Structure 1
């Protein structure tokens, strides 16, 4: 259990730094509209996680520590559900808040499904190679 903590902690620090960097870059583009940057960041992270889970992580040679470092570590630190909740509370209009939450969660779910769809051929390719070798 303790050996799993280090890759997650290091990955989390990297993911958080990447999120802050991307948030700053997107805030410059969207003129400090952190609502938009949080939705984009969470959609990117959801897509990448879907891609990895459906594709690369199905390969038997992918080390467990790498899955921990990238999944809960980097992508867990990169995406931020608590940031979405904070922004939702700051909106202070129930209809706008509901719309923001629906759009944000919907975008992330769509991105995850898209990532799984894009990543699936990588899994099939690795499964096919294993069957041919036997």
Structure 2
């Protein structure tokens, strides 16, 4: 039950973040959808980073993974918005822009997810410091 509630709350938060991005970077049906591209690329990186890092820690509860992954990031990013933008761009006579957008979304998303996995994995497997020096530097 806790996981369902986490996904619900995370979904509300992710949807609100997505709306804020769309309002900050509005675009017409025949314009390049920068907000959708940015949201999906950021989401791909974040999910890769979380899966490579936080998800690998045995102490991370499943409800946290569900709430952040499926809830926040799942509702923040959306493949349906990518495909809707492709259809709208194509219908507006901007087929090359639609192809470019789809290619950047796919290649950029996979690339940033891989970078996120690598960074998250590197952080997760780095030993945490156990002492603090006089200067307060622990890393």
Q: Report the TM-score range of the alignment, normalised by the length of the smaller protein.
A: 0.7 to 0.9
Deviations 1:50-92 (A, max 9, x none): 0000011111111110000000000001001111110000012
Give the Å deviation of 1:49.
0.3
Partner of 2:70: 72
Deviations 1:79-127 (A, max 9, x none): 0111111000001244432222111111111111111111111221269
Contact 1:8 1:69 (C-alpha < 8 Å) held by counterparts: yes
Give the Å deviation of 1:34.
5.8
Q: How many pairs does the alignment contain?
A: 124
Of Structure 1 and Structure 2, which has the larger fraction of its residues in helix? 1
TM-score by length of 2: 0.79
> Is residue 25 of structure 2 the alignment partner of residue 26 of structure 1?
yes
Q: Which of the numbers 59, 70, 82 marks the counterpart of 1:61?
A: 59
Contact 2:10 2:71 (C-alpha < 8 Å) held by counterparts: yes
Contact 1:8 1:68 (C-alpha < 8 Å) held by counterparts: yes
Q: Closer, same or farther in 2 for the Cα pair 1:46/1:14, shift >3 Å?
A: same
The CA distance in 1 between the partners of 2:32 and 2:22, in whole Å, is 7
Partner of 2:89: 91
In structure 2, runs of 5+ residues without a counterpart are 131-139
Tell me the secondary structure at the aligned position of residue 60 of structure 2: coil
Give the Å deviation of 1:3.
4.2
Partner of 1:118: 119
Query: Moved runs in structure 1, 4+ residues, more than 2 A?
Result: 31-34, 93-99
TM-score by length of 1: 0.82
Partner of 1:132: none
Q: Closer, same or farther in 2 for the Cα pair 1:89/1:13, shift >3 Å?
A: same
In structure 1, runs of 5+ residues without a counterpart are 130-134
